[in-house]
Amino acid sequence: MAQLNRRIFLLSGLAATAATAATPARALSASPFTLGVASGEPSTDGFVLWTRLAVAPLNGDGLGGMPNRDVEVRWEVSENESFAPLAASGTVLARPSDAHTVHVEVGGLKAGAKYFYRFISDGHESPQGTVGTAPSGLASKLTFAFASCAHYEHGFFHAYRYMAQDKPDLVLFLGDYIYEAPWRTSAGPVPNPSRKYLPRKEVTTLAEYRLRYAQHRMDPNLQAAHAAAPWLVVFDDHEVENNWAADHRGDNDPAGDFKARKTAALRAFYENMPLRAAQRPTGTAIPLYRRVSWGQLARFHMLDTRQYRWKQAAAKDCGVIRDPRRTLTGDVQEKWLLDGLAQPSARWDFLGQQVFFAQRDDDGKPATCDVSTDAWDGYPHSRDRIVQGWLDRKVRNPIVLTGDVHRHWAANIKQDYFAANAPVVGTEFVVGSITSPNDGVPGAAYLKANPHLRFVSQRRGYAHTTVTPEKLTTQYVTVSNALEPNPAKVTRSVAKTYTVADGKPGLG
Ligand SMILES: [Fe+2]
């Protein structure tokens, strides 16, 4: 009933301002706000607001049951939950060519302020979101969550719900927001039949990628996490295809035109993420790496370790792995990162990226190159150039944030991992998965063979970090059971907490 009253109020409000209401009221068959709202990319005077109109989000054509025409969407931003007075507002067109997604870049707001936002279209009102602008100067505190790897069929998004309840200032998503492939039948039945991916096949077309994002975005826990805070997102491999590298496909199954698939995947990724127009892809290219500052307290270098990398080496192929020309970032991004690190404007510099940065060697011995060739271990000289680069530039507090491996890990970064007394030169926090299962690596054995690795947890979850000028604190949060549908039966706990003191690299 409350919703009905609100809608009647809204309709009368629209009638009073008929000049802005070019779309006839109730032209759509139902509310188009089925996929929630999102924000991202905060600056000192604004952010991106996102939504997608879809009256029937699971339609097989990926078009959300929307008419084949532009639809007007009004957006409103206010410091008050009552939306009076408005701090900013406007009207944009949701276009069929963008699957009726909306990206609004809001500017002209106050630094370091909290805002509420919402959308209105066709007489329907979206859920509200909360978002903050970045502060100017040295803020006393920043909180952010980071997460990765949310395979829909592998569980329920309880971790997203708890992440939202923490009310962080920011959320970093470090890759594998969707998975291109459903649960492999060789792994047994889907853990819970109500979480079956649609369509029931590996996705390759634009319609199919759009449908997969729509299915994720219908999840109320994921909607809550997006509505709670602005996100900084990067992709990893599964937004396109397992283990892809530049123009090389990772899997040969299913067969097909990889460039066409990549074009479709990147387009659907952009459509569904709260990114700026500067990140809009052109064909198979997407300018994704970028910097976002939180005043003088923190700077986030969001990296792309997929698009410019050399193809993965074969397992244990030391000759290829140790080729000094190999790169995970590409030369242009590497220079961009090091140039950015040379600017002394942040107390804490975070590298938000996808794959394991510190060494993770099967037996802890240098001769065999028994490492993951998809991670930085497969590109050790590329890693060395970044680490030497931050040392040369006297970066005050370099912190690497990582996803990908479906387990929480914590690591001390060194220049020589085989030398027990080599100094610690940085810190890495690897976040486990929202739902994706273990990849089978023997966690405890790795800790023994790699003493710079300090912690591993197999439980699903996310990480919550508090940053002050004096120290950083990361909590590894776990949920008790990602396969349990009933939220009342799932608890949140902190499995481990680490601190890093200003000016002193390494886990404390
Ligand atoms: Fe993953």
Cβ atoms of 106 and 88 within 8 Å: the answer is yes
* pLDDT for the residue 441: 60
| Distance from the alpha carbon of residue 77 to the mean position of ligand 1, in angstroms | 35
CA–CA distances in Å: residue 356 to residues 167, 207, 360, 428: 27, 32, 8, 9
Flag the least confident range among 9-13, 178-182, 418-422.
9-13
Size (the chain), residues = 508
Q: For 472-479, what is the mean pLDDT?
A: 98
Query: In the predicted model, what is the mean pLDDT of the chain?
Result: 93
The CB-based long-range contact list for 491-496 (8 Å cut-off, 24+ gap) reads 492/158, 492/162, 495/408, 495/457, 495/459, 495/461, 496/408, 496/410, 496/455, 496/457
- 2-101+109-132 sits in which CATH class? mainly beta
| Distance from the alpha carbon of residue 241 to the mean position of ligand 1, in angstroms | 11
Structure-block tokens of residue 151: 């395979």
| Distance from the alpha carbon of residue 55 to the mean position of ligand 1, in angstroms | 30
* pLDDT for the residue 2: 38
Rounded Cα distance, 104 and 394, in Å? 37
Q: For 394-417, what is the mean pLDDT?
A: 97
User: Residue 52: which region, alpha, beta or left (left: phi > 0; alpha: psi -120 to 50)?
Assistant: beta
| Distance from the alpha carbon of residue 257 to the mean position of ligand 1, in angstroms | 23
CATH superfamily of 151-501: Alkaline phosphatase D (PhoD) (3.60.21.70)
State percent of the chain over pLDDT 70.
94
| Distance from the alpha carbon of residue 476 to the mean position of ligand 1, in angstroms | 17
| Distance from the alpha carbon of residue 407 to the mean position of ligand 1, in angstroms | 10
pLDDT higher than 80, residue 10: no
* Per-residue pLDDT tens digits for 54-72: 999 999 999 999 999 999 9
| Distance from the alpha carbon of residue 182 to the mean position of ligand 1, in angstroms | 13
State percent of the chain over pLDDT 90.
86
What is the SS3 assignment for 477?
strand
Mention every residue, 6+ apart, whose C-beta is less than 8 A from residue 416. 422
* pLDDT for the residue 9: 39
In this structure, the number of other CB atoms found within 10 A of the CB of residue 332 comes to 11
Q: Which of 394, 391, 479 is nearest to 435 (CA)?
A: 479
Rounded Cα distance, 326 and 323, in Å? 6
Kind and range of the H or E run holding 399? strand 398-402
pLDDT band at residue 446 using 50, 70 and 90 as cut-offs: confident
The domain segmentation of the chain, as residue ranges, is 2-101+109-132, 151-501
Kind and range of the H or E run holding 270? helix 258-272
* pLDDT for the residue 438: 72
Helices (H), 273-342: 318-321, 331-341
Mention every residue, 6+ apart, whose C-beta is less than 8 A from residue 136. 44, 111, 112, 295
Q: For 318-333, what is the mean pLDDT?
A: 98
* pLDDT for the residue 458: 87
| Distance from the alpha carbon of residue 402 to the mean position of ligand 1, in angstroms | 11
* pLDDT for the residue 444: 82
pLDDT band at residue 194 using 50, 70 and 90 as cut-offs: confident
| Distance from the alpha carbon of residue 88 to the mean position of ligand 1, in angstroms | 38
Rounded Cα distance, 474 and 479, in Å? 16
Tell me, yes or no, if the two domains 2-101+109-132 and 151-501 fold the same way: no
* pLDDT for the residue 440: 60
Cβ atoms of 75 and 104 within 8 Å: the answer is yes
Rounded Cα distance, 359 and 335, in Å? 22
* pLDDT for the residue 442: 65
| Distance from the alpha carbon of residue 84 to the mean position of ligand 1, in angstroms | 42
